[in-house]
């Protein structure tokens, strides 16, 4: 459970109160400046017409000119203005103020001289000193108020912390009390190897004397490496729960601020708090946010991120051998981390958390299904084998989508068909309710039937799970293949047959319609990428040889180089291009031959798709068996 805040919710609106108070104070200054600027005296502001009338009547004794403003005195007091609905008549005025129009020329000065009026001229200095002070002060009052408000809002958005103007450097790490753990290794399905690796850490935090008595040193830093959603954060919390120690959790991005030095200050404060509550665990999620290679790319060497990284390195070096503090960090990009982070003495132990196998997936599904009402026929083993490559987060989403599907259909329990629909939605997207022409449906049906038939005919291919021409996501149709077991190696024979299956949809269109369409765009892209890896990375071309040129690898910008330098000549690039093309051309020819020999089966599969829109594995095999007149051969799998 997170540590409770020391400040009530009512104080979170204090920033707005400060701003309102400052605005009211500025308004007071404005009104006060206006009142002071008017000054005392028995004067009236008169219109220019009244001024002309008094001038013609010779009732003006003296005048002072200040720009367009005219002030003066009457020879005889004048009853100026009219009484309001609730006021008495104002008294007579001895002085006046008016303003000359912009078109008024110098001839009015001749009129003043003709009547013997005393004329004084003063420079136009604008407002009074008090009013100038108000105008100078008011913007600064508003700027300071808005700045204070922004700072308070930033602090609240980043998890609270102590309110105040000078608390930027305090750590934003959340403290979880693991004395009464809510998550332990029992709550983590699968990941047996990772849990075994972390057991030493748990034992050290529980009984450090057992290790120090013989001089053993437990790693100070543990780096969890794995794809997103594989359970790195959950595993770190479970480690703290097993050890029963305080658990500080923070995302690395929360260290970096727009103010220089704030990140380093927060690192120092976080380690200070951890030392005060030791033994404890510090968990830094997405450490690549601050742990990237220093002085690389276009970032320079003195930015806030690198200062934060330097402070983190310094703090990890500052551990005493007897300090029971373990730093656990998680990342899915270990290739971009600074080497100084990965050396022994900092993150000593690297634990790789890969995507779960089907047995682990079954355990994860059972964990997420504990609080859900399942029908008796739900087979978690079958679901687990049908979800290769899914992470723990994907499986949690799959179970939730199945529950939502059951609710929409008004069921009281989650059935196997709900899981099938949920898997289709997760993998391919939701159904698209769009109208397509009959020609488009026929093209899609033959395209998907081609994939299915060639896959069935070839050995060393993944079994068919479902063929559909129901539009989902960005695709108008799909042929799903589910491997019988998780693959870690890909033989050349398997990859070549996979190229044939990918190009079979386009081959079926060409055979039936004597034309090709843009529907094979994704198939061609995948086939080209696979052939490029076979030639340039996996050494599966006799002419190119067993050399890895790095071509075809994914190279996101990792801060080292703006562009990736080629490690091969132009002649070698030309040779690789020819070998890639040859692989694809040969695969397409093989698909053409298989479809030509099985034209009748292709027609039957397409007709069934046009009628039912979706065929399961059993439906596909029944059509193939009926059209060929023989029992389907047992597929050979690796």
Residue 480, number of CB atoms within 10 A of its CB: 20
DSSP codes, 279-322: SEEEEEESGGGT-BPTT-TTS-SSSHHHHHHHHHHHHHHT--TT
390 CB-near residues (< 8 Å, 6+ apart):
355, 356, 361, 398
Pairing of strands 280-285, 325-331: parallel
Q: Which long-range contacts (CB under 8 A, 24 or more apart) does 70-79 make?
A: 70/97, 70/98, 70/99, 70/100, 71/43, 71/95, 71/96, 71/97, 72/96, 72/117, 78/44, 78/54
Q: How far is Cα 193 from Cα 183, in angstroms, rounded to an integer?
A: 18
**431 contacts 470 by C-beta, under 8 angstroms:** yes
Instruction: Answer positive or negative: Cα dihedral of 472, 474, 479, 484.
Output: negative
31's CB contacts (< 8 A; 6+ apart) are none
Count of helices and strands (H, E) across the chain: 20, 14
Residue 609 near residue 478, CB atoms below 8 Å: no
Other CB atoms within 10 Å distance of the CB of residue 69? 13
Q: How large is the greatest C-alpha to C-alpha distance in the chain, in angstroms?
A: 131
Question: Could you give the CA distance from residue 255 to residue 267 in angstroms, rounded to a whole number?
Answer: 7
Q: Which parts of 34-161 are beta strand (E)?
A: 43-45, 60-66, 69-79, 92-99, 118-121
Residue 10 CA: distances (Å) to CA of 148, 157, 158, 195: 17, 15, 18, 43
Q: Residue 444 corresponds to which tokens in the numbers above?
A: 């899609």
Give catalytic residue positions.
448
* DSSP for residue 186: G
Cβ 541 vs Cβ 581: under 8 Å: no
Q: In what order do the strands lie in the sheet with 478-481?
A: 478-481, 464-468, 614-616
Return the ∠ at Cα 544 (arms to 543 and 548), rounded to 5°.
155
Between CA 2 and CA 177 the distance in angstroms is 7
Question: Interhelix angle for 492-513 vs 438-457, to 10°?
Answer: 150
Residues linked to residue 467 through DSSP beta bridges, in sequence order: 479, 615
Contact 386, 209 (CB under 8 A): no
Of the candidates 506, 392, 410, 489, the one whose C-alpha atom is nearest the C-alpha of residue 449 is: 506
Q: How many residues does the chain have?
A: 638
Beta strands in 67-208 (DSSP E): 69-79, 92-99, 118-121, 174-176
Buried b / exposed e along 348-384 (16+ C-beta atoms within 10 A): ebebebebbebebbbbbbebbbeeeebeeebebeebb
């Amino acid at each position: 459970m997170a540590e409770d805040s020391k400040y009530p919710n009512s104080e979170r609106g204090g920033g707005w109160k400060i701003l309102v108070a400052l605005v009211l104070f500025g308004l007071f200054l404005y009104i006060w400046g206006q009142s002071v600027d008017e000054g005392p005296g028995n004067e009236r502001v008169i219109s220019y017409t009244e001024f002309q009338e008094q001038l013609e009547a010779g009732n003006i004794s003296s005048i002072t000119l200040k720009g367009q403003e005219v002030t003066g005195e009457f020879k005889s007091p004048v009853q100026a203005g009219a009484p309001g609905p609730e006021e008495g008549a104002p008294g007579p005025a001895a002085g006046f103020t008016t303003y000359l129009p912009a078109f008024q020329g110098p001839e009015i000065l001749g009129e003043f001289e003709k009547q013997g009026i005393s004329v004084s001229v003063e420079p136009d200095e604008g407002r009074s000193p008090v009013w100038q002070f108000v105008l100078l002060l008011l913007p600064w009052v508003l700027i300071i108020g808005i700045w204070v408000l922004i700072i308070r809002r930033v602090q609240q958005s980043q998890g609270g912390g102590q309110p105040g103007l000078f608390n930027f450097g305090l750590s934003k790490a959340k403290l979880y009390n693991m004395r009464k753990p809510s998550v332990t290794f029992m709550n983590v399905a699968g990941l047996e190897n990772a849990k075994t690796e972390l057991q030493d850490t748990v034992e050290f935090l529980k009984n450090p004397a057992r290790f120090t008595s013989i001089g053993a040193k437990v790693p100070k830093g543990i780096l969890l490496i794995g794809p997103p959603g594989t359970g790195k954060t959950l595993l770190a919390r479970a480690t703290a729960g097993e050890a029963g120690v305080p658990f500080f959790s923070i995302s690395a991005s929360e260290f970096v601020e727009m103010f220089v030095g704030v990140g380093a200050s927060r690192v120092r404060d976080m380690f200070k708090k951890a030392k005060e509550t030791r033994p404890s665990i510090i968990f830094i999620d997405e450490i690549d946010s601050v742990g990237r290679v220093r002085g690389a790319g276009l970032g320079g060497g003195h930015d806030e991120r690198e200062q934060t990284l330097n402070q983190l390195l310094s703090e990890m070096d500052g551990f005493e051998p007897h300090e029971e503090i373990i730093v656990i960090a998680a990342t899915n990009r270990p290739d971009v981390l600074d080497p100084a982070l990965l050396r022994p003495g900092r993150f000593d132990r690297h634990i790789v958390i890969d995507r779960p196998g089907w047995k682990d997936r079954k355990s994860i599904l059972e964990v997420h299904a504990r609080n859900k009402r399942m029908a008796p026929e739900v087979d978690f083993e079958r679901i687990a084998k049908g979800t290769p490559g899914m992470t723990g987060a994907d499986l949690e989403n799959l179970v939730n989508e199945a529950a939502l599907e059951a609710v929409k259909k008004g069921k009281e329990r989650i059935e196997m068909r709900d899981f099938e629909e949920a898997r289709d939605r997760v993998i391919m997207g939701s159904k698209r309710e769009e109208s397509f022409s009959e020609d488009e449906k026929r093209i899609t049906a033959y395209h998907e039937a081609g994939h299915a038939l060639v896959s069935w005919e070839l050995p060393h291919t993944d079994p068919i799970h479902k063929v559909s021409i129901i539009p989902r996501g960005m695709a108008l149709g799909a042929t799903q293949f589910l491997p019988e077991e998780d693959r870690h190696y890909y033989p050349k024979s398997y990859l070549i047959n996979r190229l044939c299956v990918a190009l079979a949809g386009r081959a079926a269109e060409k055979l039936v319609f004597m034309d090709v369409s843009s529907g094979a765009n994704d198939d061609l892209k995948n086939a080209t990428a696979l052939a490029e890896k076979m030639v340039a990375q996996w050494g599966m071309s006799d002419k190119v040889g067993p050399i890895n040129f790095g071509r075809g690898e994914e190279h996101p910008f990792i801060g080292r180089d703006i562009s990736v330098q080629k490690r091969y000549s132009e002649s070698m690039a030309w040779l690789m291009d020819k070998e890639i093309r040859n692989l694809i051309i040969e695969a397409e020819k093989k698909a053409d031959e298989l479809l030509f020999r099985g034209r009748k089966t292709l027609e039957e599969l397409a007709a069934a798709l046009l009628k039912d829109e979706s065929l399961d594995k059993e439906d596909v095999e029944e059509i193939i068996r009926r059209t060929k007149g023989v029992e389907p051969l047992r597929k050979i799998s690796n």
